[in-house]
Each structure stands twice: as structure tokens, then as C-alpha cells.
């Protein structure tokens, strides 16, 4: 009989528990706040024998992901986790893992980037590597962290792509919540051992993995043509686009097995008849549901569109959900400095040229763990509603940057 | 010591590669792959070795080869070793990391130090051509005092770092110095390294006609001169037991057979080097050499 146990745990414990349930074979990680408890927990399980895996206590994040790359190359299921500067430090390998098409799963306890130092939450770290070719999933609570991390291994191994599972530092990583922990049989049925149809490292069938590749196609010794760098990159793009379906399927199969449906690529709240749509990724979107309730109480037809899968970007699904609405307000916990919030920019691109597209107003908030009270979210919505030009093309630049992004709760004196 | 006529040839190095004419990297690879009978996976960062390997979809070596990011050699090798253990394949092959001096002494030293401290189970071979050759002969931490590179136009002012001593200080079971042009000695050291577990480090001198500025036919000559002058000493430290090997063991008895000035003459990287620098390097070599001979005699 399959059982589910409800346990109260932090987001980090949920991530570690998922890695254990996924029967990871090699884990390498380096401590950084707020991710450290993931490493500590897994190393304790490996030491006690509770998790029969290799734990490599590396000397840096660059090496953490390098170890995962090596292990994954020879067919092992590999896992790591990091935050902020740790992710930035391993950026070279973030690209390598994706380009080498390795199904590594990495949890990111989202944290602000230095300088100046700040260990609290925003999403600048993972947003800064959105272009590297990983699948990126954002979680809204600890149960979703556990479920999504298990799903991530299946998505990764189905698509030959690495998957980043992002959850907000402290807000989720260190907050205790009840989490439904599935039993091993449920997870084993959902996630079979890593398939290894092609063993690329085999002395009996030697191959050179990841060598220099010319831009153009080139023939092998038998005259058979093979794609060049350009074709390899196009394959990568195709795989990432196709991963959207794998994300949806993993969610649907998991829902069938456990009864928990996290919505696949996006999720929504009171959206059906909403004129005003509040958009965000992660726990901020959960907070937006509270703001939507308040607005509804005040007879404002607000709803929430939560982004669960940010890469591949579900542009069609988002455009369909937003069609016919008056206004979308996108709350970003990151900036593409010199332009605007990354999600806001992507949504504008997704809507470009579509019929019935709403205006899109960008709001950046919560950087460096700056408190985002529901009241401020509600005020931001009211302000945007009262400003007919908010989110309109060529809105006058009342705010501090070119794309008219509003900085929520910014103090008058912003330069110290 | 294995005699040259007894060295195996296993054919893992295929005819033709993209290294420069006269590059002894091919000699070394033939010895390394044969000593391991091809039961190996080569882990290789950006370097001349990458170029030698060829361009997709053609490879110049018939052994599994995993390319890795420049700073990541020892960490990627750690991951491959862990992955092979975790999937029950550790006995199928030896993990051999092979990087240049830049990839070892400079950008890769953090990962190497971490792997050495953890005593990871692989052989790490640094082939030392004494500069960043692949990117156009810039200085590395292993470039000798006096050598001109494209970032030390008037000759490098510092002595090279002693990476062997650095790795030895991590208390690993086996470190050895070798030279690509002493194939019997190299063969024996790879076999010795392969017979043990944990991190094994081999630092291999690699004369480089293109970067050092000598005729491609003279690679073996300069590799031998380096040993005869004591700039390169062939030795191994196995479980704390130190011994000079091969030609260097003979030189410990006879005394060095060449001077720094003789070694430098004819290499364009040392063109115009001052008498003062030559004397300084000679003093540095004499000092180092007598220290190594003393260790050889003491056996530790
Ligand atoms: C992070 C990073 N920085 C710089 C480079 C450029 N790079 C490639 S190979 C190389 C020099 C390699 O020197 P060495 O390790 O001594 O090997 P050699 O080319 O001499 O064989 C450099 C600087 C790189 N590939 N990655
Ligand atoms: S530059 Fe030197 S080490 Fe590199 S391939 Fe040419 S000869 Fe060999
Ligand atoms: Mg070099």
C-alpha cells in the first residue's frame, strides 16, 4: 500500500528529502546561506548510510557542479544546490552542464547578489542564468519544492537537460511548513533509475566527449556529415522547447500518483473573470493571491497568474491566459539592470503582436529581502489602475528607469 | 626500469593529430595509454592537448576522452570517479586527468588542491610546457625565470612554482616528476601510479618547439638537456619514500652534465637573457638539485 506522511519541515529539508527519494547517486555541494542545510542534511544521510550515495565535499561551487558534470557524464544521477554568489561562481559550469546536455538537478535557494552583501531573498541569482539552457522551475511552498525536485529528475532525464528548482531563500528555505512526503514506492514508480541507452564513456567504444566543434557541419572519417556548433545549439533550443511538454506530463503523472497538481507550466488563482492579472514566480505569487482576495473584497476583479516554469518560457499559455484582460501587473524580484524586470520583459515579448493583449506594467520589489507587505501589493495595483498610461506602450517615465518599471516601496532618499 | 625495446605499443594513439610538428605530447600519450592498456578515461581541460585531440567528429585517440572546463579538471575527474563508483564501474577503467601547467599551477590549482586533500581516486598528469601555449605563449606560474613570453616580453622575473611540492604537501600517496622524452621512466611511473589508489600526481616536463623556440627535431635534445642541467629532476615519492629515478639517479652519482647556460642557448625564449639572470637561475638550480640529492640519499 502506498502511504503519504505529513511532516513539518523547511524548504531545504524538502529539497534534500526529494533528492533522497530520487535515489541520487552523486551529490556535491558547497555551503552558502540560505542553501547550506541542504548540503548538511544530505551529508548526514550519506554518512549514516540512510542515503547510499557518493557525497563529495568540494572546495567550491565551481567544483560542485564540475563533480556533478563528471558523474552525470558517466551515467550517475547527480544533484547539487546553491544560492546567489555560489551560483554566480559556478556560472561557467552552468553553461557547460547545459551544453553537454547532462540531466543534473540543482536546487537554488534564491538569494540576492552581492555587492553589497545581502543574504536575504530575491530571484536575481537564478534569473541571471536564465539564458544558459536549463529548465527553470519556481516553487511557491515547501510541498511544491519536494514534488518539483522529484519531477525535475524525470524531466531532466527525459529531455537530456539540466533542471534548476528555484525556491525563495528564508521565506521557504528556512520556514517550517507541513509537507506531504510520498513513500519510496510512489517515487520509484514515478521515477525509474536513470536510463543509460548510450554509455558515452566506455573503453570498448571510445568517444571524445565535448571536443572542439566547428561552427559548420563536418564529415567524420567515413565521410558521414555531422552538425556543427550551430546545429548542436539549435538541437538544444528544440530540446528546451520540447521540455515544456515533459514538465506538464511530469506534473500530470505526479498528480495522478499523489493527488497533488501544481499546474504544470503556470497556475492561476481567481483568474477566470479577472480584468487585472497579477503575475509573479515563487512565493511572491502566493502572496499575490492574498492581495487578490483583498482586491476582490473591494470589488476589483483581480486574479493571479503564477509562473512555475520560467524556462522554457510558456509564452503561448501566458498569452492565452492574458488575452482580453485590461491590465497585467508583473512583479519581479530581479532586474535586468539597464532595462526592466526579466519576467515583465518576457511577458511583453510573449504578447507582442497578439490580439487582445493587455497593457503590461512592471513592478520590481523585494530585492535583498526587502519586505513586501500585501498592503503594498494592493496599493501598487490600485495605483496602476488609476494611471491609464501604466503599462501602455511609451508610458511617460515617471519611474527611475527607461522601461517605466515601478520600484515598490522605494524610499525618497535612495542614495545613501 | 623497463627497457625501451620492451615498451608496449597498443595503438591507442591514432596516426595523425593536430599538435605542432615535433611536439612530444604524442610520445607521452603513446606511453600513458599503453601503460594503462587503454583502460582509462582521459579528462582534459582547454589546452594544447584539446587541440591534439582533434575536432568533432574526429578524434586522434582511441580512448574515452571527456573534455572539461579549464579550471575544473580535478573536480570533473573527482565526479567521474564518484560516478563510476556509484554505478559499479570503477574497476573498468582508470580515471586520468591530464592538464597543462596553466590548467594545473594556476587556474586549476584550487580544484587540484581540493581533490588532493580529499585523496580522490585518479591519476593527475600535468604536462608542463612552461607557458599558456594554446592561447599564444603567455606566462604561467610554471614559466621559468628569464623566459620571454607574450606577457613577459623582457623575460619572466620570478622562478616557477613547485607544484610537485605543493601536491606532496597534501600528503597524497604518490607524486612523481617525469619527462615526455624519457619514455621508459614515464612508463614505469604510470604503471606504479596505476597500481595504487587515491590521488596520484605526475608532473611531466614537455619540451615545446613552438613556444620555446627551437627546431622541431630537437624536442628530445632539449628535454634531455633540461634533465642533464638539473632544471628537471626525475623522481618519485611513494608513501613518503623519495628517490631520484632514471637519468636523474645516475646524475646524482656523476654530478650534473650540463649548465643552465647550455640549456638556454638555442631556445629563442631565452634570447638576450642577461648573464646575471643566468647566474641567478644557475644558483637556484644548484640549490634545488642539492636538496633533491640530499632527499634521495636520505630516502625521504
Ligand atoms: C576560464 C577560462 N579562462 C581562460 C581560458 C583560455 N585558455 C584556454 S587554454 C589556455 C592556456 C592553457 O595553458 P596550459 O594549461 O599551460 O596548456 P597548454 O596550452 O600550454 O598546453 C587558456 C588561457 C579558458 N578556456 N577558460
Ligand atoms: S605549442 Fe608546444 S606543446 Fe602545444 S602543440 Fe605545439 S609544440 Fe606541442
Ligand atoms: Mg602550458
* Of A255, A283, A298, the domain-final residue: A255
Q: What percent of chain A has pLDDT over 70?
A: 96
pLDDT of residue A197: 66
pLDDT confidence tier of residue A196, bands split at 50, 70 and 90: confident
User: Residue range A257-280: average pLDDT?
Assistant: 98
Would A151 be classed as within a structural domain? yes
Quote the number of domains for chain A.
2
Range of the domain at A294: 266-407
* Of A224, A255, A286, the domain-final residue: A255
Would B6 be classed as within a structural domain? no
User: Residue range A348-377: average pLDDT?
Assistant: 97
User: Residue range A345-366: average pLDDT?
Assistant: 96
Q: Report the alpha-carbon distance of residue A333 to residue B142 in Å, rounded.
A: 45
Average pLDDT, chain A: 95
Range of the domain at B236: 17-298
Would B3 be classed as within a structural domain? no
- Helix, strand and coil in chain B, % to nearest 5: 45, 15, 40
Pocket lining: B211 vs ligand 2, CB cutoff 6 Å: yes
Would B2 be classed as within a structural domain? no
Contacts of B231 (CB under 8 A, 6+ apart): B144, B260, B263, B285
List of E strands, A91-234: 105-110, 135-138, 163-168, 177-182, 208-209, 218-219, 225-226
Shared-domain flag, residues A15 and A163: yes
Give the three-class secondary structure for A158: helix
pLDDT digits (tens, 9 = 90+) for A3-51: 789 999 999 999 999 999 999 999 999 999 999 999 999 999 999 999 9
pLDDT of residue A11: 98
pLDDT of residue A403: 54
Contacts of B88 (CB under 8 A, 6+ apart): none
pLDDT confidence tier of residue A396, bands split at 50, 70 and 90: very low
pLDDT of residue A400: 47
Output the nine-digit C-alpha cell for A328: 497585467
Would A16 be classed as within a structural domain? yes
pLDDT confidence tier of residue A394, bands split at 50, 70 and 90: low
B216 Cα nearest atom in ligand 2: 7
Shared-domain flag, residues A187 and A51: yes
Pick from A277, A376, A406, A346: nearest CA to A127: A346
Evaluated on CA atoms A290, A296, A300, A304, the torsion sign reads positive
* CATH number of A331's domain: 3.40.50.920
Output the nine-digit C-alpha cell for B116: 588532493
pLDDT digits (tens, 9 = 90+) for A81-108: 999 999 999 999 999 999 999 999 999 9
What does pTM read for this prediction?
Answer: 0.97
Name the strand (E) or helix (H) holding A362. Answer: strand A359-364
Would B144 be classed as within a structural domain? yes
Q: Please tell me which residue of chain A has the smallest CA distance to B94.
A: A203
Would B102 be classed as within a structural domain? yes
Would B11 be classed as within a structural domain? no
Output the nine-digit C-alpha cell for A168: 525563495
Of A26, A58, A203, the CB nearest to B64: A203
Would A395 be classed as within a structural domain? yes
User: Residue range A248-267: average pLDDT?
Assistant: 98
Output the nine-digit C-alpha cell for A314: 510558456
Would A208 be classed as within a structural domain? no
pLDDT confidence tier of residue A397, bands split at 50, 70 and 90: very low
User: CA B293, B299, B300 angle in degrees (round to 5)?
Assistant: 95
Evaluated on CA atoms A57, A58, A64, A66, the torsion sign reads negative
pLDDT of residue A402: 46
User: Residue range A129-143: average pLDDT?
Assistant: 98
Shared-domain flag, residues A158 and A299: no
Contacts of B173 (CB under 8 A, 6+ apart): B119, B196, B197, B198, B199, B200, B238, B239
Would A132 be classed as within a structural domain? yes
Shared-domain flag, residues A173 and A296: no
Shared-domain flag, residues A9 and A133: yes
Shared-domain flag, residues A36 and A119: yes
* Of A186, A221, A255, the domain-final residue: A255
Would A261 be classed as within a structural domain? no
Name the strand (E) or helix (H) holding B203. Answer: strand B200-205
pLDDT confidence tier of residue A391, bands split at 50, 70 and 90: confident
Would A14 be classed as within a structural domain? yes
Would A234 be classed as within a structural domain? no
Pocket lining: B209 vs ligand 2, CB cutoff 6 Å: yes
Consecutive sets of 10 residues in chain B, 300 residues long: mean pLDDT of each? 94 95 97 98 98 95 98 98 97 98 98 98 98 98 98 98 98 98 98 98 98 98 98 98 98 98 97 98 98 98
pLDDT confidence tier of residue A389, bands split at 50, 70 and 90: confident
Give the three-class secondary structure for A353: coil
pLDDT digits (tens, 9 = 90+) for A16-28: 999 999 999 999 9
* CATH number of B221's domain: 3.40.50.970
CA B278 to ligand 1 centroid distance, Å:
28
Contacts of A69 in chain B (CB under 8 A): 68, 72, 76, 79
User: Residue range A115-121: average pLDDT?
Assistant: 98
Shared-domain flag, residues A398 and A313: yes
CA A393 to ligand 3 centroid distance, Å:
55
Would B170 be classed as within a structural domain? yes
Quote the number of domains for chain B.
1
pLDDT of residue A116: 98
Amino acid at each position: 500500500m502506498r502511504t503519504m506522511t505529513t511532516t513539518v519541515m523547511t524548504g531545504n529539508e524538502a529539497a534534500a528529502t526529494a533528492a533522497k527519494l530520487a535515489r541520487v547517486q552523486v551529490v556535491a555541494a558547497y555551503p552558502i546561506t540560505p542553501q547550506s542545510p541542504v548540503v548538511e542534511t544530505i551529508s548526514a544521510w550519506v554518512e549514516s548510510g540512510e542515503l547510499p550515495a557518493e557525497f563529495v565535499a568540494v572546495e567550491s561551487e565551481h567544483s560542485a557542479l564540475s563533480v556533478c558534470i563528471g558523474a552525470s557524464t558517466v551515467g550517475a544521477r547527480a544533484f547539487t544546490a546553491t544560492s546567489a554568489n555560489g551560483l554566480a561562481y559556478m556560472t561557467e559550469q552552468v553553461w557547460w552542464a547545459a551544453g553537454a546536455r547532462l540531466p543534473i538537478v540543482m536546487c537554488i535557494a534564491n538569494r540576492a547578489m552581492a555587492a553589497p552583501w545581502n543574504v536575504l531573498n530575491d530571484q536575481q541569482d537564478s534569473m541571471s542564468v536564465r539564458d544558459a539552457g536549463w529548465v527553470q522551475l519556481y516553487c511557491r511552498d515547501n510541498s511544491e519544492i519536494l514534488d518539483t525536485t522529484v519531477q525535475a529528475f524525470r524531466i531532466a532525464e527525459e529531455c537530456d537537460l539540466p533542471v534548476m528548482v528555484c525556491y525563495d531563500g528564508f521565506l521557504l528555505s528556512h520556514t517550517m511548513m507541513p509537507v506531504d512526503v510520498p513513500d519510496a514506492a510512489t517515487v520509484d514508480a514515478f521515477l525509474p533509475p536513470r536510463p543509460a541507452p548510450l554509455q558515452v564513456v566506455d573503453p570498448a567504444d571510445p568517444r571524445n566527449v565535448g571536443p572542439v566543434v566547428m561552427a559548420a557541419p563536418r564529415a567524420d572519417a567515413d565521410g558521414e556529415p555531422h552538425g556543427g556548433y550551430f546545429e548542436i545549439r539549435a538541437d538544444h533550443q528544440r530540446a528546451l522547447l520540447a521540455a515544456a511538454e515533459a514538465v506538464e506530463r511530469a506534473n500530470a503523472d505526479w498528480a495522478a500518483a499523489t493527488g497533488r497538481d501544481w499546474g504544470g507550466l503556470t497556475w492561476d488563482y481567481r483568474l477566470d473573470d479577472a480584468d487585472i492579472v497579477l503575475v509573479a514566480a515563487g512565493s511572491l505569487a502566493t502572496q499575490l493571491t492574498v492581495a487578490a482576495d483583498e482586491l476582490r473584497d473591494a470589488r476589483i476583479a483581480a486574479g493571479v497568474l503564477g509562473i512555475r516554469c520560467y524556462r522554457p518560457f510558456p509564452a503561448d499559455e501566458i498569452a492565452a491566459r492574458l488575452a482580453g484582460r485590461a491590465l497585467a501587473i508583473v512583479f519581479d524580484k530581479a532586474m535586468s539592470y539597464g532595462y526592466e524586470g526579466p519576467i515583465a520583459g518576457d511577458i511583453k515579448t510573449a504578447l507582442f503582436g497578439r490580439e487582445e493583449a493587455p497593457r503590461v506594467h512592471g513592478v520590481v520589489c523585494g530585492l535583498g529581502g526587502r519586505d513586501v507587505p500585501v498592503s503594498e501589493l494592493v496599493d501598487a495595483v490600485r495605483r496602476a489602475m488609476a494611471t491609464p498610461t501604466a503599462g501602455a506602450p511609451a508610458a511617460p517615465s515617471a519611474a527611475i528607469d527607461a522601461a517605466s518599471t515601478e520600484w515598490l516601496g522605494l524610499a525618497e532618499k535612495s542614495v545613501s | 626500469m623497463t627497457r625501451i625495446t620492451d615498451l608496449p605499443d597498443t595503438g591507442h594513439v591514432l596516426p595523425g593529430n593536430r599538435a605542432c610538428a615535433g611536439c612530444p605530447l604524442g610520445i607521452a600519450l603513446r606511453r600513458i595509454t599503453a601503460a594503462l592498456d587503454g583502460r582509462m578515461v582521459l579528462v582534459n581541460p582547454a589546452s594544447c592537448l584539446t587541440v591534439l585531440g582533434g575536432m568533432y567528429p574526429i578524434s586522434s585517440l582511441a580512448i574515452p576522452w571527456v573534455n572539461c572546463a579549464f579550471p575544473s579538471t580535478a573536480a570533473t575527474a573527482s565526479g567521474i570517479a564518484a560516478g563510476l563508483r556509484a554505478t559499479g564501474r570503477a574497476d573498468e577503467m582508470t580515471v586520468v586527468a591530464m592538464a597543462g601547467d596553466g590548467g594545473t599551477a594556476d587556474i586549476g590549482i584550487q580544484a587540484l588542491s581540493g581533490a588532493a586533500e580529499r585523496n580522490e581516486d585518479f591519476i593527475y598528469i600535468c604536462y608542463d610546457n612552461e607557458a599558456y601555449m594554446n592561447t599564444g605563449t603567455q606566462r604561467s606560474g610554471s614559466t621559468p625565470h628569464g623566459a620571454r613570453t607574450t606577457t613577459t616580453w623582457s623575460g619572466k622575473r620570478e622562478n616557477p612554482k613547485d607544484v610537485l611540492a605543493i601536491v606532496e604537501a597534501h600528503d597524497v600517496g604518490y607524486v612523481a616528476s617525469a619527462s615526455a622524452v624519457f619514455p621508459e621512466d614515464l612508463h614505469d611511473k604510470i604503471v606504479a601510479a596505476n597500481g595504487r589508489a587515491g590521488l596520484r600526481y605526475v608532473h611531466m616536463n614537455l619540451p615545446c618547439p613552438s613556444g620555446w623556440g627551437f627546431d622541431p627535431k630537437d624536442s628530445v635534445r632539449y628535454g634531455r638537456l633540461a634533465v642533464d642541467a638539473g632544471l628537471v629532476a626525475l623522481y618519485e615519492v611513494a608513501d613518503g619514500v623519495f628517490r631520484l629515478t632514471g637519468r636523474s639517479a645516475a646524475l646524482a652519482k656523476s654530478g650534473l652534465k650540463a649548465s643552465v647556460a647550455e640549456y638556454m642557448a638555442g631556445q629563442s625564449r631565452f634570447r638576450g637573457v642577461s648573464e646575471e639572470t643566468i647566474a641567478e637561475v644557475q644558483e637556484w638550480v644548484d640549490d634545488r638539485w642539492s636538496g633533491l640529492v640530499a632527499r634521495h640519499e636520505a630516502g625521504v
